[in-house]
Structure 1
Amino acid sequence: MKQPQPSFYNLAWRWHFYAGLFVAPFMILLALTGIVYLFKPQLDPWMYRDLMVVEAGAQRQSADTLLAKVRQAYPQGHIGQYLPPLNAERSAQFVVHDGGRELNVFVDPYRAEVLGVQDGKRNLQAIARALHGELMIGTLGDRLVELAAGWGIVLVVSGLYLWWPRGRSGAGVLWPRLTARGRLLWRDLHAVVGFWGSALLLFMLLSGMTWTGFWGKQYAELWNRFPAAMWTTVPTSDQQAGALNDAHRQTVPWALENTPMPVSGAHAEHRGHHTGHSAPAAPQIGLQQVQDLADARGVTPGYSITAPTTADGVFTIAVFADDPRHDATLHVDQYTGQVLADVRWQDYGTAARATELGVMLHEGRMFGPVHQAIILLVCLMILLGAVSGLVMWWKRKPSGSLGAPPLRHDLPRWKAAVAVMALLGVLFPLVGLSMLVVGLADRLWLRRRRPLPR
């Protein structure tokens, strides 16, 4: 009697199950928070109209006048950042650190009146962004999101293997059998949506991974390089520009995160090697002068001006543009107004350009409403894929058991599959480490169980 041909299908299903059970809750959270952040341009002016929208006047007040008004309202506060009005009908915004709180203070640029204040870390967009990036629990959350994204790639690869038609076509493969009921319908929705959305999901996962704290940092150090000559003509500190970014607020583009922060020259002459530790900032140029400099150099509206915090710090003008070709990051001496560094798209290397382009495609801002609609569709497909997978698991899960698919005891090692999984483990070290842990746990669990009949 001919022996049945063993198949890798069973083992792939088991690994797909483990990955899906871990990844699904994260995918649901990432999709929902992603949708909130996707529609930030529409939601913010609608939700905070009284803060953000103003009636255009004859002439705007200077940035220094607005700054004085904010300092009068918050005499003990530190002004960290200024965001000039985006257009004629938008307010100006200051980021104020006051009594341990981070506040977004909105000011009418024509009448120099404080319109109101918003918690910088507890508004809808800040919460959505912080959840999306690190689950609002810092480094641990960042690593969990990175792990989920890496396992999401494993999920897509194993899912495509499970979907492969093997002689089937049409209903249940390329489109769902909508007349079906129960678990079969959920299975069709899961498989078909997973197939059609696999390339987009891989893109979203990979482009999002560049922002993670472990894999993203290694990726940036390897590929994100600027010519050393760009920084040899100005003194620099040991601080990197990435320190200006945090989980709830984006200031400088990804490409600039691992570049050094210059220091203001008036104090650099007396310091030799700069450690970044010095007296409080005492700028000798006005905020309006910095804004005029940004406008004169053609920086795209929507930029921010980050104020120096120490005596050797700098003003940083930065715009993380919807179209990365308009990105700009300028560092300005707080005493002389000299531009110490001016980095634009044309200065980016090939990897930095590809990454910045990927990030903006990921965020859905580059091509207007059409782009938003496409990314919304991707998010909805992710939601449907995750929810349908969880429903299928719940419907087949035996009472009192996790419901992992049984593994045949005679299943051979499939060389190609092992190679693919090993490659993913090497490319994404956190995933590789977790693979070893899960594989060992799975092996120990199987040893405790009686082998299944062939």
Structure 2
Amino acid sequence: MSKPNVSFYNLAWRWHFYAGLFVAPFMILLALTGIIYLFKPQLDPLLYRELMVVEAGHHRQGADTLLANVRQAYPQGQVGQYLPPVSAERSAQFVVHDGGRELNVFVDPYSGQVLGEQDGKQNLQAIARALHGELMVGTVGDRLVELAAGWGIVLVVSGLYLWWPRGRSSAGVLWPRFSARGRLLWRDLHAVTGFWGSALLLLMLLSGMTWTGLWGKQYADLWNRFPAAMWNDVPKSDKEARDLNSAHRQTVPWAMENTPMPVSGAHAEHAGHHMMDHAPAAPQVSLQQVEDVATLRKVEPGYSITLPTSADGVFTIAVFADDPRNDATLHVDQYTGQVLADVRWQDYSPVARATELGVMLHEGKMFGPLNQLVILLVCLMILLGSVSGLVMWWKRKPAGGLGVPPLRHDLPRWKTAVAVMLVLGLAFPLVGLSMVVMWGVDSLVVRQRALARA
């Protein structure tokens, strides 16, 4: 093997090592919470059967009757959202903010009876989603997940370079050497799953990045451009649709997050109202009328209706559909019932469409169970890759040391490596920033060692 390759290999090895130690714990957590969230469509009706599954009846109660029953059951609560039943055997759901808690309240759509409640933030799926998105510690967690995903991309790129066969036979490259024992077997498992999973892993990491607070927001602001005319020149508030999404609940599709929320009643006799932003909502349009708008405009079942919270707020009908071609986001004036905006798949830009497809593949929703199985496989590969990497490190780690691969200074090919790192660092600023920090720490460690030897 020629010398330059060895040295460049050495640099890639070192960065792969650092990135791996930092990323592995996050990847294990993301894979485990991802698997739980992946099977939400199957798990929820099983776990919460008495709340979610009802016997199909003949006549459904109107949305207004159901709303009145919920308000009677929660006199102090504020109803934030209504989710009509997705099928004949499913209950209707209301999101109620009551005494500082967010509750999912389930109602039998035929009898109108309140079936019960679950804590909106403390149920299995909400916890899995919040852990997956921000480790349940808000913004700091979101940045850490973003950093881990960015470094995950560095890991895949440097890992592929390290895996590159360079004239070796296919054993240990395309499939593991099962006759091997100990560290060699772990190395093969690590390299081979990494190779086969690399394309899917990059898709998962990149599509996941679109949810993040820093990079994802910039990305959305850059690519989610809609013609102003789509809002029919309706007056806009300074709120964005992303305010309707939270760590544990997604309401509007990703492509809509940076769009402005229109204002209700600007042309009506309530024009004076929108001066009083703090005034409560007093809709003159009923919930049933808004549901009728959704039915009339053929919005895919599974949509939610978010109720206005202020005098100039709007009703928002939104579906983040399993097949993004059925995505819909409609804003309805709370006084006149006029549809102020109606945005669908065909209105998305090509980049927004590609991103929505990526997001749906990421969530395992595009092709039903098949997509779920593929993503489950990716999660298992991530788990195997992370665990095998940690085992390899543990087996070769010297007592009392980290076992950082030594750095050689004869690096004729270093320019390519630096170029790749620069591109990744610029594409993902958080990664770039941490690279600079790492570089500093690494140089200090190297210098300390050199001084110790002297």
- When normalised by structure 2's length, the TM-score is 0.96
Deviations 1:417-438 (A, max 9, x none): 1100011000000000000000
Matched, 1:383 2:383: yes
Q: In structure 2, how many angstroms separate the alpha carbons of the residues matched to 1:53 and 1:95?
A: 17
Q: Is the 8 A contact 2:241 2:258 kept in 1?
A: yes
Q: Which moved more, 1:413-422 or 1:29-38?
A: 413-422
Aligned to 2:52: 52
Aligned to 2:175: 175
Q: In structure 1, how many angstroms separate the alpha carbons of the residues matched to 2:215 and 2:418?
A: 22
Q: Which moved more, 1:222-231 or 1:128-137?
A: 222-231
Deviations 1:56-95 (A, max 9, x none): 1111111111111111110000000000001000000000
Q: In structure 1, how many angstroms separate the alpha carbons of the residues matched to 2:216 and 2:7?
A: 36
Deviations 1:358-406 (A, max 9, x none): 1001111110111111111011101100010001011111111111111
Q: In structure 2, how many angstroms separate the alpha carbons of the residues matched to 1:422 and 1:55?
A: 59
Q: In structure 2, how many angstroms separate the alpha carbons of the residues matched to 1:3 and 1:389?
A: 26
Shift of the alpha carbon at 1:257?
Answer: 0.5
Change (3 A) 1:417 1:288: same
Deviations 1:237-267 (A, max 9, x none): 0100110000000000011111010111257
Shift of the alpha carbon at 1:409?
Answer: 3.8
Q: Which amino acid in 2 is paired with 1:156?
A: V
Deviations 1:22-49 (A, max 9, x none): 0001111111111111101000000000
Deviations 1:212-253 (A, max 9, x none): 110111111111100122225211101001100000000000
Q: In structure 2, how many angstroms separate the alpha carbons of the residues matched to 1:272 and 1:46?
A: 50
Structure 1: runs of 5+ lacking an equivalent: none
Aligned to 2:193: 193
Q: What secondary structure sits across from 1:93 in the alignment?
A: strand
Q: What secondary structure sits across from 1:79 in the alignment?
A: strand
Aligned to 1:285: 285
Q: Which amino acid in 2 is paired with 1:203?
A: L
Matched, 1:443 2:443: yes
Q: In structure 1, how many angstroms separate the alpha carbons of the residues matched to 2:342 and 2:75?
A: 33
Matched, 1:248 2:248: yes
Change (3 A) 1:232 1:57: closer
Aligned to 1:237: 237
Q: In structure 2, how many angstroms separate the alpha carbons of the residues matched to 1:404 and 1:418?
A: 19
Q: Which amino acid in 2 is paired with 1:403?
A: G
Aligned to 1:265: 265
Aligned to 2:356: 356
Shift of the alpha carbon at 1:411?
Answer: 3.7
Q: What secondary structure sits across from 2:450 in the alignment?
A: coil
Q: In structure 2, how many angstroms separate the alpha carbons of the residues matched to 1:403 and 1:9?
A: 17
Q: Which moved more, 1:220-229 or 1:143-152?
A: 220-229
Q: In structure 2, how many angstroms separate the alpha carbons of the residues matched to 1:439 and 1:67?
A: 58
Deviations 1:182-208 (A, max 9, x none): 111100000000011101101100111
Aligned to 1:41: 41
Deviations 1:120-162 (A, max 9, x none): 0000110011011111111100100000000000000100111
Q: In structure 2, how many angstroms separate the alpha carbons of the residues matched to 1:409 and 1:427?
A: 27
Q: What secondary structure sits across from 2:335 in the alignment?
A: coil
Q: What secondary structure sits across from 2:449 in the alignment?
A: coil
Q: In structure 2, how many angstroms separate the alpha carbons of the residues matched to 1:209 and 1:54?
A: 38
Aligned residues: 452
Q: What secondary structure sits across from 2:103 in the alignment?
A: strand
Aligned to 1:408: 408
Aligned to 1:140: 140
Q: In structure 2, how many angstroms separate the alpha carbons of the residues matched to 1:414 and 1:231?
A: 51
Change (3 A) 1:447 1:344: same
Structure 2: runs of 5+ lacking an equivalent: none
What are the residue-to-residue correspondences of 1:48-197 with 2, within 5 Å?
Answer: 48-197=48-197
Q: What secondary structure sits across from 1:7 in the alignment?
A: helix
- When normalised by structure 1's length, the TM-score is 0.96
Q: In structure 1, how many angstroms separate the alpha carbons of the residues matched to 2:272 and 2:404?
A: 63
Q: In structure 2, how many angstroms separate the alpha carbons of the residues matched to 1:411 and 1:293?
A: 66
Q: What secondary structure sits across from 1:342 in the alignment?
A: strand
Q: Which amino acid in 1 is paired with 2:213?
A: G
Aligned to 1:26: 26
Q: Is the 8 A contact 1:267 1:311 kept in 2?
A: no
Aligned to 1:295: 295
Q: In structure 1, how many angstroms separate the alpha carbons of the residues matched to 2:3 and 2:103?
A: 71
Change (3 A) 1:330 1:3: closer
